[in-house]
Amino acid sequence: MNCYKILSACSFAARTIDRTNFSTRPIAGLLGRLNHVAIATPDLEKSAAFYKNLGAKVSEKVAQPSHGVYTVFVELPNTKLELLHPYGDKSPIQAFLDKNKMGGMHHICVEVSNIDKAVAYVKTAGIRTLTKNTKIGAHGKPSSFIGIWKQATEKRQVILERKRKIKWRETKLHLRQRFLNKFINDVYSSYMNDCEVLLLTCIVLTIMNSSYSCNYHA
């Protein structure tokens, strides 16, 4: 799979969406910068070495028993990558890797000015939270997982079924662009009033993290 073509297709689709002024939404003042992008990997040492060889600052492996993961942070000039690997028999990352053998993007973390207000707002907007209570994340700060990502993937599956499960690798580029365009617009119209910019971010990342792997060669 050519990752450049996927990026081009996503860009093409995103440009067709009429943007809304989100500054009037209650959550607009809460959203901050992107803290990190988390990537689940079946081989933590190999993944860490890959980024280290590229010259990135890579932390040591740290066990996070309360979250069921080992973590390694890769520092970039404007954000971080969090590499995740299963810790223990009941690790949620193991369940993720069982479905995605080569690993892949697991979640994104967006900073908010007040986590309690942010969680309360998304609940009133009808967005499911994936954790009952706020927890201390691997970065040492309170965090809470919300179900925007899950809603986006569920919506994507509905569209896939409607399209009779088009095989991505067997579809020409212009049809991929049409599919992505339809997907983003469908989810945008269904959820954007509730989920706003954060949902659109997750949608794009969900598309990028489809079950069709991108192969990088160092």
Residue 189 has what pLDDT? 52
Question: Closest by alpha carbon to 110, among 213, 6, 205?
Answer: 205
Pairing of strands 62-64, 80-86: unpaired
Domain locations in the chain as residue ranges: 1-26+114-133+147-218, 31-112
Residue 89: predicted pLDDT: 80
Q: What CATH number belongs to 31-112?
A: 3.10.180.10
Distance CA 104, CA 214 (A): 9
Q: pTM score, two decimals?
A: 0.55
Mean pLDDT of 18-47: 72
The structure tokens listed for 34 are 């992107």
> In which element (H, E) is residue 73 found?
strand 69-75
List residues bridging with 40 in a β-sheet.
84, 104
Kindly provide the b/e burial profile for residues 26-59, where b requires at least 16 CB atoms within 10 angstroms of the residue's own CB.
ebeebbeeebbbbbbbeebeebbebbeeeebebe
C-alpha separations of 91 from 40, 47, 60, 94, 100 in Å: 12, 19, 20, 5, 14
Q: What is the pLDDT of residue 113?
A: 72
Reply yes or no on whether the pLDDT at 202 is more than 70.
Answer: no
**Out of 92-101, 103-112, 186-195, 197-206, least confident range:** 197-206
Residues 93-141: tens digit of each pLDDT: 898 899 889 998 888 877 777 777 777 777 777 776 666 666 555 555 5
pLDDT the model gives residue 186: 59
Identify each DSSP E strand in 77-177 by its residue range: 80-86, 104-112, 135-136, 142-143
